[in-house]
Structures are given as C-alpha cells and as structure tokens.
Amino acid sequence: MIEPLRLLKPAWVPIGILAATALLVWLGKPLPATLAGLRTWGPAVVLFAAVALAWWFNRGRSLVVAASIFCGFVAFLNFPPKAIYTAVAILVPLNALAAMIRPEQGARHGAAIPWLLLLALEAGLIWFIMKNPQLHSLVDHWLLRSPPLPLAGRLVFAAAFAAAVWRAWPEFTPAQIGNAGALAAFYLAMEWGAAPGAHAAFMAAGGLVLLVALLHESHRLAFRDQLTGLPSRRALEERLRSLRAGYVIAMADVDHFKSFNDQHGHDIGDQVLKLVAGRLAEVGGGATAYRYGGEEFCVIFPGQSLAEAERHLQAVRQAIEGYRMAVRREDRPKKAKEGEKRRGVGEDSGSTKVLSVTVSIGFAAPADEHANPVHVVKAADEALYRAKQGGRNRVAG
C-alpha cells in the first residue's frame, strides 16, 4: 500500500488544487466589483504563464496542453455562440490526444512550430464558424449537442485523459501527472460553461496545475538522479548544510564495477547501479541514500549511533550480496523452442546468466558537535578505502 501512495505522490497537488477550486465554486461567493476582471484576465494570465514555463523547460506535451487550453479559453470568452463552445470542447482534448500519442520532442529548437501552425489553423476554423451562422445549426446533432459537454467532446476527452495517464505510467513524473490534471480541470470548466465564475475558476486551476507540475518537475530533475531515482549529489550537499550533531554518514561503493561494464556492457552496469540504489533506498534507521557519483553512494543516518548505523549497513550489504541478478545472454536463441532445448539446469545456463553483486561500505560519525559534515564524509570515504583494502564486500568504520 505504501509503494502506490509513494508513486502517486505527485498527484496529490493537482488533486488538492482541483478540490480547492471545487470547494470555492460550491461556496459560490461572488467576486467584489473591483476584482470582477479576474474572471477574464486572471485565468488567461495563469494559462499564458504555464505556456511560457512549458516552453522554457522544453516540455512539448505540457506546452500543447497549456496552449490549447489558453486558446480555448480566449475563444470561448470572445465568441459566445454554442457552436464555438462545441468546437473548443472537441479541439482542445483532440490536440492533447495527438500530443500524448506522439513521442515527446520538446518545445524548443523548432519543435513547437507544427503545434503553433495547428493552433493557427484551428483559430481560422473557429473564425470561419463564427462568420457562417448557418453552421451553428450543426450543434443540434446528438453528437454535438451542448452545453454541457457534447458527447463527441466527452469521447475525445476520455481518450485524451486515458492517453495522458498511459504516458504517466509507470514513472508518474510531475509533468506527466500535471498534463492529466490540467485536462481534468478543462473538462470541469467546460461542464460549467454556463456559469462564468465556475468556468473561469477551473480554467485558472488548469493553468495552476501545470505551473506547479512544471516547477515540481524542474526541482525533481535538479535534485534527483535520473538513472537510480535516488536524491542526487546536489540534494546531498543541501542536506549536509543542515545536519546537526548526532548523525552517521556512510559511503558505499560497488565492488569491481569497472569489470561489470567491461565484461557485460554499460546496460548491465546501469542495472547493477539500479539494484544497489534500490537496496540502499530501503536501508533502515531512518536513513536516506544519495547517488554520490559513478558507482559510489552516500547514506545519512540522522540521530543514530555508530553501532546502530553499522547494524543497518550490514543488513543492506547482506541483502545486496544475496541478490542474484539474471542477465539475458547475447547469444540467446531467438526461438522459444530452441531455448527450451538448450536450457539446462543451474545458475549459469540457458538464455540467462546469473550475476552477483557486492558492495563495500565505510562509515563515520562527527567527533564533536562542531564537526563539519564534509569532513565526516571524507572520514567515511577513508573507511570505505579500508573496507576495499580489507577484501571488499564488508563494512568498515
């Protein structure tokens, strides 16, 4: 139960924003006359800021979602006929669906030009609908009847939202979840199209969801190691500045890591690093593991003694030593039946090869309450060297 909640952690902020917006709409308190303009330019400013931030952070899908909602809001605001409402309700999720289906290509270096051309084409379509009143009768078709959202709009939204969730699976990064959250806000805004205040509130919520998601994504990229998912060295440096007395710092290094890369390739080396990082992330004692660089990791135990930290480090070292990593052979047969014939009994047979990984760990604690954490890291690194010199696959303090 804890793992799904951890994976879905980035979703709590969008859910909170949408819930708060729904509460404000339900309370239904009108804006003061001096703030009435917030209904129009407020959502537009938030959505435009989301467009700018998506472009700046080079997030193509977020740019398409934000720009489409922004243009849809402006169109609906300035062209009130139901036909325009119907067009916006269909075109915005259709754009999002197209963006989710296509690979992420970023937003800068010309990648956004096709999407801008598409938005310009859709703007021309809306203008054409506006200038031809005879087309307005089309909204009486059962697929296009509105408001609230026409059936065609609901179907396209369902497909776009499902595609956004599919793209978010299984990493659940903030930007991916933000795209889905913004689409949900747009859906609610269009359902409340006949209520200007509620419509504007949910449109603004969609922009706010994207803004927060993009900022969260930027923080994640800066402070998370992309390969292992552990906090990065930058996050470690921030943590070291805030440490107070009563902690233990450990340095861990993968034994014979260079030979893994030389013998099995960098892909296997990456798998080894992920394996070790996954085990270190589960170390007890309230510790936090960080990717220090290369095959080296750092673990901080706040409020732990040397003896307590050593017990947890020995446990994680044994867990890594006892794990058997199955690696597919390069010369494995392509046909399943041939593989069954060749597959024998034992760890190193058939189409897979089983590898074992070990780590050496050094740990240290501050000599006094005024000790510099950087010096403690150096002391732990020296203990790690002693563990290596002592034969590897051991913990030294």
Residues labelled catalytic: 295
Q: Is 121 exposed, middle or buried (0-12, 13-18, 19+ CB in 10 A)?
A: exposed
Q: How far apart are CA 74 and CA 79, in angstroms?
A: 8
The answer to whether 67 and 227 are in contact (CB under 8 A) is no
Which helix or strand (DSSP H or E) is residue 298 part of? strand 296-302
The answer to whether 47 and 207 are in contact (CB under 8 A) is yes
Listed residue (157, 28, 30) closest to 100, CA to CA = 157
Q: How far apart are CA 244 and CA 372, in angstroms?
A: 9
Tokens representing 38?
């917030």
The answer to whether 287 and 304 are in contact (CB under 8 A) is yes
What string of DSSP letters covers 38-58?
Answer: HHHHHHHHHHHHHHHHHHHTT
Residue tagged 């924003």 (tokens): 17
CA dist 274 → 174, 288, 291, 352 (Å): 21, 16, 10, 19
Tokens representing 121?
């084409």
Tokens representing 53?
């931030």
Backbone region of residue 293 per phi and psi (left: phi > 0; alpha: psi in -120 to 50; beta: other values):
left
Residue tagged 């720009």 (tokens): 67
Q: How far apart are CA 93 and CA 241, in angstroms?
A: 46
Q: Measure the CA angle with vertex 311, ends 310 and 313; round to 5°.
A: 60
Q: How far apart are CA 38 and CA 323, in angstroms?
A: 59
